[in-house]
Amino acid sequence: MSFPKKFLWGGAVAANQCEGAWLEDGKAPNITDIMVGIGSKDPGLKWNEDLKKWEMALDSHKKYLSHEGIDFYHRYKEDLELMAGMGFNCFRTSIAWGRIFPNGDEEQPNEAGLAFYDELIETMLELGMEPVITLSHYETPLHLLTEYGGWSNHCLIDFWKRYVITVFERYKGKVKYWLTFNEVNNMMRNPLVAGGVLTLNPEDKNDPIGSTTEKDKWQGYYNICVANAWTVKLCKEIDVNAKVGCMLTSSSVATYPYNCDPDNVFGAYDATRMANFYFGDPFCLGEIPGYVKRVWREHDCEPQMNAEELRLIKENTVSYFSFSYYRSSTYDHGNSLSGDTGGLIGKENPYLTGCSPEPWCWPIDPKGIRYVLNVLYDRYHLPLFIVENGIGLDENLDDNGKIDDPERMKYIEEHLKYVHEAILDGVDVMGYLYWGPIDVVSAGTGEMKKRYGFVYVDRFNDGTGTLERKIKNSYYRYKEIIETNGDILLEK
């Protein structure tokens, strides 16, 4: 039994990490544009005491590499051809919300922004790749945060609906796979970027992230659940042939108890719920779960809700569950869990032997992807779509101008082997998208040095480079895997 016949093979990027052109053709800044890496505790925001509000204040000493990205905005044709050259039958990217509604609250969309995505989507289709489109990959327009407080403000639901209707109508019959909010379950750890929430009148005027209140976060959570349900409903009304899925970082599903101490077993389970299922449950089962309501009760942070919207959530659950998986973690009740773009970080797992190179050191756990797929399928009984998995390496061209990257090939092969095991277990897996098939700016650290691509991009942390693209050796291996629909991996 091999991979399913219509398996979706491809790769994924995000507008804010590759497009560049951050203020071109009418686009205004979004939240990632003011950060050098979303893991930064110090975004480019300053409190204006006269106006009593936050405003953008970029730091002239910092390099905001995402402002130019890899210039995908102007080079997407060449890049998509390279992707098609590997045999991709689909390609994931996001629409930058701020290209369509620059401030987020306009009545009319920006035609120039739409024109860019018209061409981009058309090119994917011409090259035989299904577009998989994320509606917001950490890309809330900045104005919505500084003016309205972001997603904790109920009016964002209407702004979102306007945006979603615009793109659903425009790309009807062209885009079959939509994803709502990228890794939105990171919002409790990263309310500003993943949750798009900013407290408007903070206690600590020097700390826009740390001063976000629990109340605002949970109100943002509820409003996003409503917005997700609206997205599903609108898609059914506008384009019956398209499907809406959620997108969660699901490395956290593989949070293993450090040992069989019952406190660790339950603690690991609870950590998974509070890092992952707390969004998965309303998105897929239509219910705000009891363990979330308990937090609201005990911390006095219950959001304002209404019965009609709760019914909307109930009746409009997603058609599939998409997720990223990079690594696993362990839970030990004496140690707190931290996290970054790869997932949660707990005590080192002595059973894992590899990790990605320093300074990132992400543990490598291919068996974890089988575990995650099984857990998610057992809980939600929905088709599962792996829309991010990959390894970041610090790479340079060798003397012959080439890059040999056996670590990347090994990483993919091993993960796909366990994806296949999950398929044998009976899990419905729609496809596998490698994260970063072309080098892009890192989400977590904002650097170029952390390269995921099968295609190298000549750009460096100091902003220099020709932007020339070069094929790495792993390109040919991934091509072979796709050409044989994964059979080449099963021959071993």
Residue 148 or 452: which CB sits closer to ligand BGP? 452
Report 14-43 residues binding ligand BGP (CB under 6 A): 14, 17
Residue closest to ligand BGP (Cβ) = 444
How many Cβ atoms are within 10 Å of 471's Cβ, its own excluded? 17
Q: Which of these ranges, 100-108, 162-170, 173-181, 435-443, lies near ligand BGP under the rule CB under 6 A? A: 435-443
CA distance 420 to 35: 38
**Spatial contact of 86 and 479, defined as CB atoms under 8 Å apart:** yes
Instruction: Summarize the chain as % helix, strand, coil (round to 5).
Output: 40, 15, 45
388 is catalytic: yes
147 is catalytic: no
324 binds ligand BGP (CB under 6 A): yes
Q: Which of these ranges, 97-105, 124-132, 281-289, 441-449, lies near ligand BGP under the rule CB under 6 A? A: 441-449
Q: Which of these ranges, 88-96, 275-283, 425-433, 442-450, lies near ligand BGP under the rule CB under 6 A? A: 442-450
450 binds ligand BGP (CB under 6 A): yes
Residue 9's alpha-carbon distances to 83, 210, 433, 486, in angstroms, are: 11, 39, 6, 10
**Spatial contact of 372 and 254, defined as CB atoms under 8 Å apart:** yes
Residue 317 or 442: which CB sits closer to ligand BGP? 442
Catalytic choice (68, 147, 388, 395):
388
**Spatial contact of 76 and 63, defined as CB atoms under 8 Å apart:** no
Catalytic choice (147, 183, 309, 395):
183
Residue 219 or 442: which CB sits closer to ligand BGP? 442
The amino acid at 114: L
Q: Which residue has tokens 């009016």?
A: 155
Report 389-418 residues binding ligand BGP (CB under 6 A): 392
Q: How far is the CB of 253 from ligand BGP (least distance, A)?
A: 14
Residues 6+ apart with CB under 8 A from 350: none
**Spatial contact of 471 and 458, defined as CB atoms under 8 Å apart:** no
Residue 106 or 407: which CB sits closer to ligand BGP? 407
Using CB under 6 A, which of 72, 442, 448, 456 touches ligand BGP? 442
Reading the block at residue 82, the tokens are 């390279």
Using CB under 6 A, which of 183, 216, 405, 439 touches ligand BGP? 183
CA distance 257 to 263: 9
Kindly list the residues in this chain that would bind ligand BGP in the complex (CB under 6 A): 14, 17, 182-183, 249, 324, 341, 388, 392, 435, 442-445, 450
Which residues are known catalytic residues? 183, 388
